Structure 1
Amino acid sequence: MGNSCRNLLASVWTYRAVRLALAVFFIVAGTLKLADVHAFVLTIKAFSILPSDAVTPLAVALPVLEIVGGLLLAFDAPGGLAIIGGLLLLFIGVVANAIRQGLDIDCGCYGPGDPEGEVYHGLHTTLWRDLAMLAGVVYCLLWRRVRGRQRFTPATQTP
């Protein structure tokens, strides 16, 4: 790997861009799902992995968790990266299971009328997108580890 690539990966600006992109994706996704919880309930039911009485509470809690995780990540606060990483692992598992079952359903990732679901009509694109976002989480974790920034404090914020 060349020095310019290494410098780009080590840059605080690259870290911020990746972190903020992840935050925006999750804040938008959570907001769109909360805007039409009923449609998200139907999407979750299509995956057929939860008992019916667990679906509605999850359809509310999941988007709230996405928004909270996104906001924490946007401000580089503790817990944000863990929440987003955990959600991505959950989503990857659910989507991989649906692909294994041969389901041809909308992932519901960005609420009802998800453009990706309408355009691609399949879950493979969703799986690849979630894996790419998980790579972003891993990058942020590694960046923090290399830079010695395990926890947020105003004193450790670098320009």
Structure 2
Amino acid sequence: MHRIVLFFTSIWTYRVARLVLGLMFVVAGVIKLAGPYQFAIVIDAFGLVPRFALMPLAYLIPAIEVIAGIGLILDKRGSLPVIGGMTVLFLFVLGYGLHLGLDIDCGCYGPGDPEAEAFSSLRDSFYRDLWLLTGVVFCYWWRWMSVRGQPASSSES
């Protein structure tokens, strides 16, 4: 039990969690920025956004993903709330698509994304985003514990 506590309170576990979350957002954003028109089509498939907003969002969403992902990797203030907010937003959109019974590419890693080809399911993307949210919650928890002085191995930051 003691080793489990040391593992979760370790600064290295926190750094790896930040790195994984940040890299996932950077990769997703870069792929979408490489094909903004295709990403706009994916956004349109959900039917949540007026047509005039599709292209601005097709550039804005991935740009925010890249900036926030890099910020999280570097542990910059404000990046974790942005990543957390985007993850929650993505969960709502995916949940909406599941509720409607849509059978479309989630657009998470751009059009023609290998995950979509392998799984072809919004449900799988929803579950993956729940794991991302778990990582966000862990990072918040770790920060809260380190402010309280609890983690045994968090003296460096």
Give the TM-score of the pair, scaled to structure 1: 0.92
Consecutive unaligned residues in structure 2, runs of 5 or more: 149-153
Runs (4+) of structure 1 exceeding 4 A deviation are none
2:103: which partner in 1? 104
Matched, 1:158 2:156: yes
1:36: which partner in 2? 35
In the TM superposition, residue 113 of structure 1 has moved relative to its aligned partner by 1.3
Looking at structure 2, the residues matched to 9 and 157 of structure 1 have their Cα atoms a distance apart, in angstroms, of: 14
2:151: which partner in 1? none
Looking at structure 2, the residues matched to 12 and 87 of structure 1 have their Cα atoms a distance apart, in angstroms, of: 24
CA-to-partner distance for each residue in 1:107-152, whole Å, 9 max, x for gaps? Answer: 0111121011111111111000000000000000010010018xxx
- Give the alignment's Cα RMSD to 1 decimal: 1.4
Looking at structure 1, the residues matched to 120 and 27 of structure 2 have their Cα atoms a distance apart, in angstroms, of: 21
Looking at structure 1, the residues matched to 132 and 120 of structure 2 have their Cα atoms a distance apart, in angstroms, of: 20
Closer, same or farther: CA 44–157 of 1 in aligned 2, 3 Å: farther
1:153: which partner in 2? none
CA-to-partner distance for each residue in 1:39-94, whole Å, 9 max, x for gaps? Answer: 00110011111111111111100000000100110100101101100000000000
Matched, 1:19 2:18: yes
In the TM superposition, residue 14 of structure 1 has moved relative to its aligned partner by 0.3
In the TM superposition, residue 157 of structure 1 has moved relative to its aligned partner by 7.7
Q: How does 1:5-154 map to 2 (within 5 A)?
A: 5-148=4-147
Give the TM-score of the pair, scaled to structure 2: 0.94
Identity of counterpart residues, as a percentage?
43
Consecutive unaligned residues in structure 1, runs of 5 or more: 150-155
The alignment partner of 1:148 has SS state of helix
Q: Which has the higher contact order (CA 8 A, sep 6+)?
A: 2
Looking at structure 2, the residues matched to 125 and 5 of structure 1 have their Cα atoms a distance apart, in angstroms, of: 28
Aligned length, in residue pairs: 152
Residue identity in the other structure for 1:97: Y
